[in-house]
Structure 1
């Protein structure tokens, strides 16, 4: 059997699905799973031999309708190579709508994540937590996969070690023997989930002054990289890895860390894939929104006081 799974964006949302895809890979070893997403995220599925990652690259600045047509054309092409038995849409928006319609006209069973859950999360955020608590995103993913007939377990602990990436980390930073490695990721896509600069500098300075401690700064984007590089040049024993590492190498570096401080961002979800416990700082969102990373402790979440 051959199945198509779609979750186009974002990095954190794709990462949240990885423990469930790992469950499918281990349980249904004779089946093939084709996972479609944007960006180069194949390293998230390392160690899953029956999962094939396909990157979807829409036209630059294209409309939602154009992207929908391009995705549908790509899926049709993949189907022509070898037929899909079913499609599971973990995105559930206008971009994937035409693909679901295509499934209906080509005899391919289609299953979709609950839009009610997504609206529930939106209402919870808009009402500042005064609405009823929505289900976790991972639970919504699992429900969609179960509707397709799959059995899902929750025994995922960590991705298999990426040997090549681990060797690169050894060559670049050493093995860390006798040191404590701490990760700090102060940025997020949303400005409300970004740690204030003064607070960030204070945290970096504190850990940089601790004995036998090295601090690694994580981030993405030009502005973030410039800021992190500036901080790494100010303080001793601080290294910015923003824009330096492949996704696989970044995951292996996280695997070596003793702990990590990050915002409600993709980094908490990446850390969860290598069994790294993190202190997560929440700003404009809360863990109750449904975005707490896989098996991270609620007690490790720091939230501002809310009225």
Structure 2
């Protein structure tokens, strides 16, 4: 019987997608290891194509809510007879769980988030601006501490999935380059001004490329639908497909243009190249998509950047928002540079 390893990563979407990219590597390098991933059920599609992996859903607002719920989850997880626990989250819930497993004598390894160096990178004054350890390497360290010598290639591994039947018409007859655009993000300081993104979309449309807009929610759907109406080659996918279907669609793209958002990590999981736009955040923090290149990051070098790790704080550069420093021509020039 293969040894079983419990893996915790409950949220957020981008972080869970990054964890999935790591676990694809782990599954290849440790084929005799059974991985049991504990995460929110909505994220299950990230793990469907990883061999030998079992997904155990976590319901933080339901049966696993509160301390009693965590204890119930602990009892559920004992069915797998785990050899060890890999905590890729290190929040209050995961730490409570690891305490319970430690009390049973089961080895635990936990994520080092690197808070001190991240604070030095984002503080307003005397920043230490240098490349920090990539998050996927921090995840891999958790496995290494348990005795699994994981080596990461940091290269994209294409994972073409079958298009869902409902998405086939979107690609029917398309001979041009297929470009995904994810112009939105959870936090506003990470969003490239929409009027500037519209200039980029206009350029791609005039080049005859097929453009697919990704997002979620009523406000984002309104923007994407408006672009679809005005530009001949633009298609809005916002709130039209499930997460599993979106992943399959992304796997058929030639390239993705994204913010520092979950869509960058979803594209990385599918092995798709991403041009990413950075404002309040910075690739130095370690959250660049797995296998993506620093040269494909569109940003302006300024001593005030970054202002935060998660993009939840504005970033003013000499009184101007950091995203406003990126002219549409900068993005278009990068698209031209790669042949678009």
- TM-score scaled by structure 2? 0.81
**1:179-224 deviation digits (Å, cap 9, x = unpaired):** 221111111111110111210211122212223x211001122321
Shift of 1:239: 0.7
Q: 1:217 aligns with which of 213, 219, 232?
A: 213
In 2: Cα distance, 1:69 partner to 1:109 partner? 23
Shift of 1:253: 1.7
Shift of 1:235: 1.8
1:296 aligns with 2:292: yes
Map of 1:1-307 to 2, 5 A cutoff? 1-59=3-61, 67=66, 69-79=68-78, 81-115=79-113, 117-127=114-124, 130-131=127-128, 133=130, 134-155=132-153, 157-158=156-157, 160-163=159-162, 166-168=163-165, 171-175=168-172, 177-211=174-208, 213-307=209-303
Change (3 A) 1:151 1:67: farther
In 1: Cα distance, 2:17 partner to 2:126 partner? 24
Tell me, yes or no, if the aligned pair for 2:182 and 2:263 is still in contact at 8 Å. Answer: yes
**1:54-105 deviation digits (Å, cap 9, x = unpaired):** 2212127x9xx954552342132121x2311111101012121211110121
In 2: Cα distance, 1:53 partner to 1:34 partner? 6
Change (3 A) 1:221 1:128: farther
In 1: Cα distance, 2:275 partner to 2:126 partner? 21
**1:132-187 deviation digits (Å, cap 9, x = unpaired):** 53311111111111001112122464364333xx2436623134542221111111
The runs of at least 4 consecutive aligned structure 1 residues that moved more than 4 Å come to 65-69
In 2: Cα distance, 1:207 partner to 1:220 partner? 22
- Tell me whether 24-33 or 49-58 shows the greater mean CA deviation: 24-33
**1:245-291 deviation digits (Å, cap 9, x = unpaired):** 22232122222222221111111111112221111100110010111
Count of equivalent residues: 299
Equivalence for 2:324: none
Tell me, yes or no, if the aligned pair for 2:164 and 2:245 is still in contact at 8 Å. Answer: no
Tell me, yes or no, if the aligned pair for 1:169 and 1:253 is still in contact at 8 Å. Answer: no
SS class of match (2:292): coil
In 2: Cα distance, 1:176 partner to 1:300 partner? 29
Residue segments in structure 2 that go unaligned for 5+ positions in a row = 304-340
SS class of match (1:256): coil
> Root-mean-square deviation (CA), in Å?
2.3
Change (3 A) 1:127 1:144: farther
- TM-score scaled by structure 1? 0.89
Tell me, yes or no, if the aligned pair for 2:181 and 2:212 is still in contact at 8 Å. Answer: yes
SS class of match (2:81): coil
SS class of match (1:59): coil
Equivalence for 2:310: none
Change (3 A) 1:67 1:126: farther
Tell me, yes or no, if the aligned pair for 1:219 and 1:242 is still in contact at 8 Å. Answer: yes
